Amino acid sequence: MTDDRIEIIIANQFKGLDCVHTEDILKEEYGKKTQIASIGLAEENLVLFSGIVTDKGRIAARSGVSAVMGSKNLKAVVVWGTKSIKSADPSGLNELRKLVNKRINKGISPLMKPGLKASTTFAPWIRRFRIKNFGSMSPSNMIIESYRRWGTCAGSAILVETGDAPIKNWKGSYIDFPLKKSSRITGDNVTKFQVKNYSCHSCPMACGGIMKYSNEQFTLEETHKPEYETLIMLGANLLNDDIGAIYQLNDYCNRQGLDTIAAGAILAFVIEASESGKIPKDEMNGLNPIWGDPKDYLSLLKLITTRKGIGDILADGFARASELYDTNSGMHIQNQPLPAHDPRFSKSMILPYRLDPAPGRHTPFSELMIDLTKFSQMFPEIPKTDRFFNFYCYHKTVSSLGLCQFNLLTGNFPVLEFVNLVIGFDLSIEDIVTIGERILILKHIFNLREGKNPLDYKLPERVLEKAERGPNRAISTSKEKELIMDFLDSLNWDTTTTVPNEKTIEGTWIR
């Protein structure tokens, strides 16, 4: 695609190529400045948890979006444009941009520096004293610095210790994956292989990293830094503290377009189900993946991306495999594997996991996110009683603008001001919430039309029951129901059918 032309080109020669090679060849042909979204083997073979890859390894991974590209035989989209993007108030926008950049570039005082390093050391104390709002207790500068220095891998150990991260397919705790192991997949132990940091377009946080990793078995000349979700799902969730193996698995997933959350979840599923004899040994294609030993993990992922042997069953996700092998080891909701945040740690997680139009999402909201963004402080006019609803809708608007939520999590981020300077309106926070509510309802009623009522969805019992060991207590069925009913009430959706009421439809200008 260029400024004034869209061309569809037959690209049979790209079939079977991974996304990094695809991008290299396309850039060679169409220019270094092109932006490319492509698919790898996983999507070509319609794996239901495959994603769309950009920037040689950044992946829009959730919900199997790129199996749609695969089903249309669309290997890549190459875009190049020369026109500028105009804003309503360029000088105002520039001033605000400078202010935000100054805040982000400010850094922290030397006195605060030891605090950054010590957060992992303090993790067991945070667990012991059940401090759940540890993120929002940290000064904004510290959070900014932490993102810039480590990105999301800063949090692995602390979230393992406190019970937010899943361990051993959601059955374990920090006792099974103690601090000396979780530290190996945290902070400096991940970033010591960083060659340079990396940002999405113009972002001053630059939380990404380009890494070089090598050991006796393999070398990755250029690969992306694993994110928190990846480190936990391919690490703690498998009792695997081998950072080299995580680098290798992450690199493979990024090249072939596999969601690393799903990859970790499906590996844990297979380990548990084969260990208990639910998956017969003779169906394992000679592999024997076990907890804490990554020897067979990559081979199993390769079977999935190529749909060979047991990989063909697993590529269709958890629902089919769970039914076929008669096991409850699949930690998913509606075939979407659960991400690395435990609702027993943060109960509000139940709501987006169950009710979001794309269920099993951790990004729409949680108590911690609301605290970190300083939402109530930024918008005191918004009633605190409905803060989940208001934040959820606000966040839907922010997501639809393509803005990254990590900047929001640094607190007091001026989204509203940015939006008004760009579009030249004078939107209030109430308007932003209404726009978000409209987006939510449109997605929701699409699902309703397709016969999908989220009240029919079920979370795996394991994430609601008391953990066998560790800090996570059970969530009673009545508490889960109460949370959901209260939230449906604040959404003004029917508590049985989930159909939004007439007044809500009118209020969001959908008609």
Alpha carbons 233 and 297: distance in angstroms, whole number: 12
Q: Interface with ligand SF4 includes 220 (CB under 6 A)?
A: no
Q: Interface with ligand SF4 includes 317 (CB under 6 A)?
A: no
At which residue do the structure tokens 């495999």 appear? 321
Report, in Å, the least distance between residue 299 CB and ligand SF4: 31
Q: Which residue from 207, 231, 304, 368 is in contact with ligand SF4, where contact means CB under 6 A? A: 207
Q: Which residue from 65, 206, 499, 505 is in contact with ligand SF4, where contact means CB under 6 A? A: 206
Taking the CB of residue 479, how many other CB atoms lie within 10 A of it?
13
Report, in Å, the least distance between residue 151 CB and ligand SF4: 7
CB 20 within 8 A of CB 56: yes
At which residue do the structure tokens 């937010």 appear? 164
Q: Which listed range, 4-12, 199-207, 294-302, 391-399, lies at the site for ligand SF4 (CB under 6 A)?
A: 199-207
At which residue do the structure tokens 């249309």 appear? 72
**Residue 36 pairs with which residues in a beta bridge?**
78
Sign of torsion, CA 153 158 164 167? positive
Q: What is the CA radius of gyration of the chain?
A: 23
Alpha carbons 315 and 337: distance in angstroms, whole number: 13
Which CB atom, from 358 or from 404, has the smaller least distance to ligand SF4? 404
Report, in Å, the least distance between residue 152 CB and ligand SF4: 9
Which CB atom, from 361 or from 438, has the smaller least distance to ligand SF4? 361
Q: 189-195: long-range contacts at Cβ-Cβ below 8 A with a sequence spacing of 24 or more?
A: 189/243, 190/150, 190/153, 190/156, 190/225, 190/226, 190/231, 190/243, 191/149, 191/150, 191/151, 191/153, 191/225, 193/247, 194/225, 195/222
Q: Which listed range, 107-115, 124-132, 260-268, 399-407, lies at the site for ligand SF4 (CB under 6 A)?
A: 399-407
Report, in Å, the least distance between residue 392 CB and ligand SF4: 20
Report, in Å, the least distance between residue 490 CB and ligand SF4: 29
Alpha carbons 158 and 115: distance in angstroms, whole number: 14
Q: Which residue from 46, 60, 200, 439 is in contact with ligand SF4, where contact means CB under 6 A? A: 200
Q: Interface with ligand SF4 includes 420 (CB under 6 A)?
A: no
Name the burial class of residue 461, with classes exposed (0-12), middle (13-18) and buried (19+) by CB atoms within 10 angstroms of its CB: exposed
Amino acid at 199: S
Q: Interface with ligand SF4 includes 51 (CB under 6 A)?
A: no
Report, in Å, the least distance between residue 361 CB and ligand SF4: 17
Q: Which listed range, 20-28, 200-208, 359-367, 433-441, lies at the site for ligand SF4 (CB under 6 A)?
A: 200-208
At which residue do the structure tokens 């409850």 appear? 328
Q: Which listed range, 257-265, 382-390, 404-412, 469-477, lies at the site for ligand SF4 (CB under 6 A)?
A: 404-412
Which CB atom, from 207 or from 304, has the smaller least distance to ligand SF4? 207
Q: Which residue from 46, 60, 203, 455 is in contact with ligand SF4, where contact means CB under 6 A? A: 203
Which CB atom, from 203 or from 499, has the smaller least distance to ligand SF4? 203
Sign of torsion, CA 125 129 130 136? negative
Q: Which residue from 61, 153, 205, 266 is in contact with ligand SF4, where contact means CB under 6 A? A: 205
Q: Which residue from 60, 65, 404, 499 is in contact with ligand SF4, where contact means CB under 6 A? A: 404
- Reduced to 3 states (helix: H, G, I; strand: E, B; else coil), residue 436 is helix
Which CB atom, from 260 or from 498, has the smaller least distance to ligand SF4? 260
Terminal-to-terminal C-alpha distance of the chain: 34
CB 92 within 8 A of CB 421: yes
Q: Interface with ligand SF4 includes 71 (CB under 6 A)?
A: no
Q: How many residues touch ligand SF4 (CB under 6 A)?
A: 10
Greatest pairwise CA separation for the chain in angstroms: 67
Report, in Å, the least distance between residue 382 CB and ligand SF4: 25
Q: Interface with ligand SF4 includes 406 (CB under 6 A)?
A: yes
User: What residues numbered 18-47 form the site for ligand SF4, per CB under 6 A?
Assistant: none
Q: Which listed range, 25-33, 401-409, 433-441, 488-496, lies at the site for ligand SF4 (CB under 6 A)?
A: 401-409
Residue 421 makes CB contacts below 8 A (sequence gap 6+) with 87, 88, 89, 92, 93, 96
Tokens of 45: 């073979």
CB 61 within 8 A of CB 70: no
- Reduced to 3 states (helix: H, G, I; strand: E, B; else coil), residue 224 is strand
For 399-467, list the strands marked E by DSSP. none
Task: Fill in the per-residue mask, 349 to 388: x = in contact with ligand SF4 (CB under 6 A), - = not in contact.
Answer: ----------------------------------------
Q: Interface with ligand SF4 includes 59 (CB under 6 A)?
A: no
Which residues make up the interface to ligand SF4 (CB under 6 A)? 199-200, 203, 205-208, 404, 406-407
